[in-house]
């Protein structure tokens, strides 16, 4: 059953066509990677799906409900989470507080009640459980902006998890990481997807990561979806090879 269905999606900026007539389906519990050369339209597609940009035309259906053009916070509340190319955390709050604030926001509680809300044991327990899943319990009191880069990326995933997403869009989750950090993060993503029964759509440039984690790969080139299928099949597609390496 498709958790996300996109039909004839188009977005342009002035005279530049960023994505052009995209048609795609993501099945529930699937782990898919979205690849393509720089400027192919991958992040623009994520921005349109998550409501940051309105499309010029086309439809987006999430869990059977059309979300085309809806506000980002409404889409998040429906169970669609998102991380970004550039780490998006609260750099002046502790690791624990980063997750806690995200949970409070998800519960529609105002941040002015932040201090009293720490008395609510269920919120603290949920925050701690996410830190356990992220393997960040020993760094719970460290200020988010002082964490190593790899841990900041983990924390951003944790903030997304606070919203209990059914579908999680991950924009280059291993970008800038060392090989060791990359392996650890890939393992974390795979484990979270399995334990939380989440569907994942991942923008990724590291082909080793793509091959290790993906059940299906979708390829964008110049705003158009040019190929999709199992990683082994896509890697042999001549149109994909040309898009990456040139004629």
Q: Are 7 and 58 in contact (CB under 8 A)?
A: yes
pLDDT of residue 225: 96
CA nearest to 84, candidates 172, 214, 200: 172
pLDDT of residue 119: 57
**DSSP codes, 111-167:** GGGHHHHTT-HHHHHHHHHHHHHHT-GGGTTSBGGGS-HHHHHHHHHHHHHTT--SE
pLDDT of residue 196: 94
Q: Which runs of consecutive H residues, i.e. helices, occur in the chain?
A: 42-49, 72-77, 95-106, 114-117, 121-134, 149-161, 179-196, 207-213, 231-235, 238-245
pLDDT of residue 45: 97
Average pLDDT of the chain, as a whole number: 91
pLDDT of residue 122: 86
Q: How far apart are CA 162 and CA 99, in angstroms?
A: 7
pLDDT of residue 104: 85
Tens of pLDDT, residues 181-206 = 999 999 999 999 999 999 999 999 99
pLDDT of residue 121: 83
Superfamily of domain 2-89+164-245: P-loop containing nucleotide triphosphate hydrolases (3.40.50.300)
pLDDT of residue 94: 97
Q: CA-based diameter of the chain, in Å?
A: 62
Number of C-beta neighbours around residue 229 at 10 A: 15
Instruction: Give the mean pLDDT of 142-163.
Output: 94
Residue whose token pair is 């949970």: 103
Domain segments of the chain: what residues? Answer: 2-89+164-245
What interhelical angle do 149-161 and 95-106 show, nearest 10? 20
Give the rounded percent of residues in the chain with a pLDDT score beyond 70: 94
Tens of pLDDT, residues 63-112 = 999 999 999 999 999 999 999 877 789 999 999 999 999 988 887 644 45
pLDDT of residue 167: 97
pLDDT of residue 109: 47
Enter the pTM of the model.
0.90
Instruction: Give the mean pLDDT of 117-121.
Output: 64
Q: How far apart are CA 186 and CA 150, in angstroms?
A: 11
């Amino acid at each position: 059953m498709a958790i996300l269905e996109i039909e004839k999606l188009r977005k342009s900026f002035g005279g530049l066509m960023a994505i052009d007539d995209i048609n795609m389906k993501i099945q529930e519990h699937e782990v898919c990677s979205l690849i393509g050369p720089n400027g192919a339209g991958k992040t623009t597609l994520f921005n349109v799906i998550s409501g940051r940009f309105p499309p010029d035309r086309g439809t987006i259906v999430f869990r059977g409900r059309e979300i085309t053009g809806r506000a980002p916070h409404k889409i998040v509340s429906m169970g669609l989470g998102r991380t970004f190319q550039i780490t998006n955390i609260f750099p002046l709050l502790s690791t624990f507080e980063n997750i806690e604030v995200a949970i409070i926001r998800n519960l529609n509680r105002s941040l002015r009640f932040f201090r009293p809300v720490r008395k609510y044991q269920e919120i603290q327990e949920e925050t701690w459980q996410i830190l356990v899943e992220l393997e960040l319990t020993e760094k719970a009191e460290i200020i988010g902006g002082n964490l190593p880069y790899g841990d900041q990326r983990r924390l951003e995933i944790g903030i997304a998890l606070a919203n209990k997403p059914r579908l999680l869009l991950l924009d280059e989750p291993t970008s800038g990481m060392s090989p060791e950090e990359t392996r650890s993060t890939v393992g974390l993503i795979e484990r979270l997807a399995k334990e939380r029964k989440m569907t994942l759509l991942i923008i990724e440039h590291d082909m080793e990561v793509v091959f290790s984690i993906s059940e299906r790969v979708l390829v964008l080139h110049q705003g158009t979806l040019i190929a999709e299928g199992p990683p082994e099949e896509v890697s042999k597609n001549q149109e994909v090879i040309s898009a990456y390496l040139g004629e």
